[in-house]
Structure 1
Amino acid sequence: MHRRTHGHPRRAGAVPGDGVLSGLRRPRSGPWVDVPRQDGRVVVVTGASAGVGAATTEILAHRGAHVVLAVRDVEKGRRVADAMRAPRHLLDVRRLDVADPDSIAAFADGLDLDRVDVLVDNAGVMATAYRVSAWGTDDQFATNHLGHVLLTALLLPRITDRVVVVSSQSHRGADLDLDDLDWSRRGYRPYGAYGASKLANLHFLAELQRRLTAAGSRVRAVGAHPGSTRSAITQGAGNGLMRRIGAFGHPLVSMPPWQGALPLVYAATMDVPGNTYIGPDGPGELRGWPTAVGRSRAATDPDFARRTWEVSVQLTGARFGL
């Protein structure tokens, strides 16, 4: 993994840089916040109108990247982009619903860019009420996993550097039943379905990197998770109690979005090997600063990952050529 660098603060205790990261206090442990310049690089971030997606977008554009905000609600995306502390001409808002195959195809077809240096597969929903997706799975598996599989396949011929797959600590202990992806044989559990989709993310990461390596591609796949971060995603939970906990309790113990975004930014910008997984360095990976982290035994099972890939490709019709 790339050695951490700390730079030289402008004033005692301050993080170097201006705009997005200015005024933030540097703890004594010396966290990584020195995001390298991204001038000339093109990045696509899904789910870029809120939470860590918006923060990732703002940080990368502030450092000079041209960022495509791939969002369901274009008007909201434009408002968010207009409010960012980054050059507005570097922010390009495009419509994308990662749960809708037609929207994904239209986004890829309409993306008039010769290249995409980095794709950040970030968009997601959490613990939502049961709904069957266009692919016949539960909606969380479709939104958090299948849509990004198809999007990555469509953009891969133009990707020059890497794909960042965003997962979660919720992958640990998850029950991913590839023969019951619509939960028709089991009682639907919103948080169980969320964890299963996040485990599928890590299977996709590992198998994508395996296939890229076998094909001799210079493109790499890197994973990241934001730890416990203040985000609107918990407000979509299907359980009323958890929505209240998310609205009132979560902010007390979680990180601000800019800090939760740093593992994603690290994964997108630093020289790390393919299939590296970046998360916070604190206890339980809930808070802290970017570092390489581990994953569950199920997430490192190559046969399980290969089967998840095969099922996902069959459902979406994605063609990777790998």
Structure 2
Amino acid sequence: MGTATYMVLTRERRELMREWVRPLHEALHQPLGLAEQTDPRRYLHVPKNFTDDDAQIRIDLPTRLGLSRDMVADLITQKLALQGVTFSWHPEGRKPYVLVKKTRKPPAISLFKDPKTRELVAKAKESAPIIGFGAGGRIVSVDLDAESPHILVNASTGGNEILGRQLRMHVLLVAQSATARALGGPEVREQFSTRILARYSVNAWRMLAPEVHPALKSTKHAGRAQVVTGGSATETQVLFCTEPEAHEWAHRQDGSGRTAAPRHPRTAGPARAPQTRPARLLPGRPLERPRPAARRRRPHPGRRRARRPGDVADGSGTW
């Protein structure tokens, strides 16, 4: 393991402990009957990618059964900002525990070329383009006319692009770090009622979505983003569209599958047929292709032409 890799992993572990594990310990140690000085790593087994679709969170429980399962589940959900998870309780044995898994999750991938997806996009209003799909295949969209006239997309390197149908005069801003300085001031950032965050840092979340607390843990799942609007966040698998697909779709007027003509075609004069001689057909020979007319070369001024048979001298020294 290189030095740079070790430093990155160390920073991720520190962030995991500071932002999620330790706050969870501060909320759980009393309901579980544990001392506040207890090391959280002894009973809180939270992986650094705990928001991934296949991640599992294990929390060791005390042997006594006097705790409130509903209270513990609510505290875990709130402190880790989990969405669509289920709790599997295992009180038997000498080491009881509870296992937390994500069961209601967005699709693993959303392809624009899928016929059903294209049909849904075609039926969507121009003012409410589909961003992607949430848990259970629920459509995630935003109404540009009624809800949010402008959209801010904040994604680090590797984040997927968002597919829109027609934005007209609406603003779609894409940035890797949409700081107030980069946008021209914090008041500019407040114009974006809908904010889409992908592969974000904790600082980016606090800067762009401070109304949603605690910060949702980012995931490296390709195409996975959080759509924040109205003070709530929705985990979304955004549509994946290739450049040829986007180009073909942008030139349509409807979703019928036909390519529409340009709205403002250029007016051009009548095309002229090329001047060529007709082909000649000789007996016993194949069709002879027309030959282009030979271009006559004009003599260079001041340059003497070579004498040819039949030329007569004019007394000026030239022929």
Shared fold (TM-score greater than 0.5)? no
TM-score class, shorter-chain normalisation, is under 0.3
Greater C-alpha Rg: 2
The normalised TM-score by structure 2 is 0.25
Q: Relative to total residues, which structure has the larger strand share, 1 or 2? A: 2
The normalised TM-score by structure 1 is 0.24
